[in-house]
Amino acid sequence: MTDQTARQKAGELTPEEVAEYLRNNPDFFIEQDELLRSLTLPHDSGRAISLVERQVHLFREQRDTLRHELVELVSIARHNDRLFEKSKRLLMQVIEARNLIDMASTIDDSIRGDFGLDAASVILFTDAEVPGSSQGALYVVSPAEARNRLGNLLEGSRAVCGQFRESERKFLFPNRDEPIASVALVPLRTDDLLGVFAVGSCQPGYFDQSMGSLFLSYISDTLSRLLPPMVQRYTTAAPVSDLATESR
């Protein structure tokens, strides 16, 4: 015979039955002030405290937890507000760019200067000759080479964040003295894959898989709409020197 069976036969309540009764009757102690004051609970300090003291202690812990969470939420909101303003400035400058050279220079300056990152790349996938390629943040490669070098990274439409393989990092950010260690990459798409927009940091783990990518998506969506007519226009345009003077 178990202890629980023995208590039931003796007419005693089990701890589970008492707990269930109190859950179903939360106002039980309203008329039991003396009983409430006489109840004691163990405390971390080792001494026994009253139930009221225990409740006050729990309320204080909950208050401190909520206060900490509120501070974190305010900090995140301020961080997102700063990101929004930086993204807005970048997008306005990109929209105002007159040619691919200006656009690449704007992106490079903003990502490294305003955002404080170490590198940016806009890599276009085309077999056509694009004037102004390999200047600033702009690079042009064939679709076949891009597929060969980046593979599954091009399959989705959302940002991919992480440390990537060394060969992928070198492909996204060529000709660097200080290697990029962490990358956030967003495919540029309309109906077809146009290329990728990537930002990099020399700090390992700066970008990780859990990182939000909302602002990167805003920038990539804008680039996806602006680049096709620019590329189409300048694949048959004059040399780079003429393009640079056109915006003056």
197 has which bridge partners?
122, 186
pLDDT at 238: 43
Which of 5-9, 47-51, 243-247 bottoms out in mean pLDDT, i.e. has the lowest? 243-247
pTM above 0.95, yes or no: no
Q: Is the pLDDT of residue 153 over 60?
A: yes
Residue 163 · residue 183 · CB < 8 Å: yes
Q: Give residue 231's pLDDT band: very low, low, confident or very high (50, 70, 90).
A: confident
- Per-residue pLDDT reduced to its tens digit, 198-222: 898 998 888 876 566 777 888 888 8
Q: Is the pLDDT of residue 66 over 60?
A: yes
pLDDT at 91: 86
Mean pLDDT over all residues of the chain? 77
pLDDT at 151: 85
Q: Which residue has the higher pLDDT, 2 or 117?
A: 117
Q: What is the mean pLDDT of residues 36-50?
A: 62
Q: Give residue 226's pLDDT band: very low, low, confident or very high (50, 70, 90).
A: confident
Q: Give residue 248's pLDDT band: very low, low, confident or very high (50, 70, 90).
A: very low
Q: Residue 83: which H helix or E strand, with range? A: helix 51-96
Ramachandran area for residue 124 (φ above 0: left; ψ -120 to 50: alpha; else beta): beta
Instruction: Report the percent of the chain where pLDDT is more than 70.
Output: 76
Report the 10 Å Cβ neighbour count for 51. Answer: 15
Q: What is the mean pLDDT of residues 50-56?
A: 68
Q: Which residue has the higher pLDDT, 175 or 141?
A: 141
Q: Which fold has domain 98-246?
A: Beta-Lactamase (3.30.450)
pLDDT at 156: 75
- Edge-to-edge strands, sheet with 193-201: 138-141, 119-125, 193-201, 182-189, 160-162
